[in-house]
Structure 1
Amino acid sequence: MPDIPKFSDLPLNKGDPRWSAWGLYGKDDQLGTLNRLTDDVVKAASSEIRTGTRISLNWPLDAQKDIPFFNRQAFHKNVFQKLPRIVNDDEWSFNTQSSSQWDGLRHFGYQKEEKFYNGVTLDDIHGENKTNVNGIGAWSEKGIVGRGVLLDFHGWREAKGLPYDAFESGSISLEQLKEVAKSQDVELRFGDILIIRSGYMVAYGKLPREEIKSLMAVQPHHFSGVEQSEKMLEWIWNNFSAVAGDQPSFECWPTQKNFALHEILLAGWGCPIGELFDLEALSEHCKKVNRYTFFVTSEVCNVPGGVASPPNILAIF
């Protein structure tokens, strides 16, 4: 077992929000569970590179066109010539969470306590004396680099003929994820980067525009994802440095409990949450070579005080 507190010992400090680990890496820490990606952990993960095959997990920035979920700004691109020369420049404008993304530590706080990771407040972010604290730019120095693990829930579910609706508030249980790992012969290592293929991208790709617009009109949106439970939290706490999936919310949405995983992962532990990762080419290759672990390199944008970032992520085999 790694040298971290037991899940049952959380929160670490009296009066802190439930299951929080504030202060574990110091009161001014902004890396959270990325501290688990030590040089030794990354060096060990490099053994996953055997063939040099590289696969992008980045959905196109304009993949949702002009109708992203959660009422987010669509991607806009302006390409212009710099007359009189034969030269082009371009300008992009987009919400950092309208396509593949890492949620940063400013994104989702404890709702009742109104606090972000390590006790950061809204006033720290928006107030008169605001700073860049918990900005996603803090992750850019070393990136999110380590051993990735794909749990192909969608492939496993299809093989078993189990029903699934990406646009209903269904939960992927811990027991199911453990069954997927067993079927893939995957053994977890502390510090792994967990990536779950739920099947959202497959379902989204089959929808006509009008049906997407109808789903967007339903408030709150409904998505299937990882279940909200103490045992799921304990499993994540004991194993991973970051978690990600192909769906818009990672977890079942809206939450089925009186808490959201986003609260605990982001605000409690400083654990990055990846969403809308394009896992189709990755899952095909994993199935082809019968290997579901790989080296991951992800470099977030160096934006001081940023909330989220495109992942700029590759899986390397």
Structure 2
Amino acid sequence: MTETKYWRAINTALAEEMRRDERVVLIGQDVASPGGPFGATKGLMKEFGPNRVRDTPISEGAVVGAAVGAAMAGLRPVVEVMFFDFITLALDQLVNQAAKMAYMSMGHYSVPLTLRTMCGAGLGAGPQHSQNLEAWLAAVPGLKVVSPGTPAEAKGLLKAAIRDPDPVVVIESASLWSMKGEVIDDAEAVLPMGRAAVRREGSDVTLVCWGSSVPGALEAAQILAEQGVEVEVIDLRTLNPLEKECVVRSVRKTGRLVVCQNAVTTCSIGSDLIRIVATAAHRSLRVAPELVAPPFAPVPFPPGLERAYFPQQHDVVAAVHRALTEEPTWPRSSYPSGV
């Protein structure tokens, strides 16, 4: 195990996969000599050369379209789209072509394409560089979507994405870019997609998070533990396919659910997760679930307003306290035996 920064874990994963498989190529704006707009591809052109690490014009549609064709022809392209917001310029290629190709060709073609992109929340970059559009992509059949919240996840999930036969979107986070964490040194240490992780066990409340909301959720859980509240923290890690069973099992144990996300509430992963729990574990819920998320509004530029816009640890703590103090949804005596 080595303590590594989030961005360095991404860089290491790319290098290891390129050494392992000569079909892996990198394309995107400034990914070659500059080492990527945020440094994630630093040093890779020097090691692997310009045929496998290629700079592109500023055209997300052209870049992703070229990557779809390259993937269909037998390569395993890794595309970098600088900000998540810019993925809107390549939705036809990603959603209508990459995601549908295996289905429409009856399995004759696969598109082993990995698209890395950055959620810019925390940079003070405003409404056109800070959006989290995760729910848009997670709702597309044929696309897999992962959102790593630690350096270990950033490495392990990216390696899994590159090896996967289907198109995968990896949502990285600007707010975690310099975060340090323990990372397994083994080049074969790959995290499976579709598996959530219990970051902290507890019996009072289930707290679900992913991506950039993970550190704040864990900090909130520690504050609550000092107050005598045991919170079970679940990191989804993968948004599609979503491991529902892990969350449902936890809610059946705790009877309370709080979801924390950095995307707006409307038509979101969190709101759908609450629907799933309300359907699969409704008789276990003691109170209505809580969704801690930004308001349904564009992301503001000023740093102070941006901090107020995105959930902070005190917002999570307050939501957990509400879940603990609200009146039960129905009499406790009406629960089935053992729930």
Global fold match (TM > 0.5) = no
TM-score (norm 2): 0.22
Larger Rg: 2
**More relative contact order in 1 or in 2 (CA 8 Å, sep 6+)?**
1
Q: Which has the higher helix share?
A: 2
TM-score (norm 1): 0.24
